Amino acid sequence: SYNAVTEGTGVGVLGDTKKLNTYYSSGTYYLYDTTKAMTGVIETRTAKNLSSLPGSYSVDPDDNFNATNQRADVDAHYYAGVVYDYYKNTFNRNSFDNKGATITSTVHYGRNYNNAFWNGSQMVYGDGDGTTFTSLSGSLDVVGHEITHAVTERTAGLEYQGQSGALNESISDTFAMFMDQKNFLIGEDVYTPKIAGDALRSLSNPTQYGQPENMSGYVNTTSDNGGVHTNSGIPNKAAYNTIQSIGYDAAQKIYYRALTVYLSPKSNFSAARAAMLASAADLYGTGSTQYNGVASAWTKVGVN
């Protein structure tokens, strides 16, 4: 037939083989996933190392996306599906807008580009320079981090500067942990491919990668929108404390309720503590183990 929902295979950034939800049309297979319960689709494109977005569809003639230059495309597509499933299965949230919006990812953005970002409409991933980063779509926690920026934008709308900005960053790191539940590290799969055992950030030990883990270490700076990638260590440690104290499931339910019901654009760290406590009270009752675990998690990082 001319059009069909198909299942292909691909090789990811780390050389791992995975199944892909693809689409066949007139002799070509597309990284175009129509299988989710959404009005939109999950689609993956390539900028071919230029910087115009969204770029052209990632395609293959035989539905086996196993070329070296397809690895970033494979993982961006696969992990976007994992992130969609996480939000739908855990919170019944239908894509980042909760209305089934299409999730578009573009890989091979720029040249040796050591970053990834949500541009307000779509995901964008660089290839890295092979020293600082390899292709940034190669890790679930980076993809989950970035798509969570879109969720935050559509819910709490935390302003991307100062404490609300560091909180915005921490929400992305924290939901990446909820999705991955492998460790408390961010970016370990794609950061410094020539060096094993390191990571971009650690939620269990933020100071290992130069972040404060207590309000006493808050960095006042004008760079990086007021240090949003530095000061996120403080709420990140609080999230780690929360998970250690009450477990992943209760923690993720509390965080999601805080994000969607209580947090707002100018919420600072203290407001975040209050939002988490209000959510814990709603879900488990004031004075519950969960409530008390949240309270101590934030007190330990100097936020009251």
Ligand X SMILES: O=C(NO)[C@]12CC[C@H](CC1)C2
**Residues near Zn ion (CB under 5 A):** 169, 172
146 annotated active-site:
yes
- What mask of x and - would describe binding to ligand X in positions 89 to 128, judged by CB under 6 A? --------------------------xx------------
d(CA 255, CA 290): 12
Which residue's CB is nearer to ligand X, number 11 or number 123?
123
Name residues contacting Ca ion, limited to 118-157 (CB under 5 A). 141
Q: Can residue 185 be called a binding residue for Ca ion (CB under 5 A)?
A: yes
Q: Which is nearer to Zn ion, 73 or 169 (CB)?
A: 169
The only residue of 36, 71, 108, 145 in contact with ligand X, by rule CB under 6 A: 145
Are 238 and 300 within 8 A, CB to CB?
yes
Q: Which of 13, 47, 136, 156 binds ligand X (CB under 6 A)?
A: 136
Confirm whether 77 is a catalytic residue.
no
At 12, the amino acid letter reads G
| Burial class of residue 56, CB neighbours in 10 A (0-12, 13-18, 19+) | exposed
Beta-bridge partners for 268 = none
Distance between terminal CA atoms of the chain?
62
Residues comprising the chain, all counted: 304
Closest listed residue to residue 249, CA positions, set 280, 273, 275, 272? 280
Sign of CA dihedral 61, 62, 68, 72: positive
**Does the protein bind ligand X through residue 158 (CB under 6 A)?**
no
Catalytic-labelled residue, pool 108, 145, 146, 169: 146
Catalytic residues: 146, 229
Binding residues for ligand X, rule: CB under 6 A, are: 115-116, 136, 142, 145, 169, 187, 200, 229
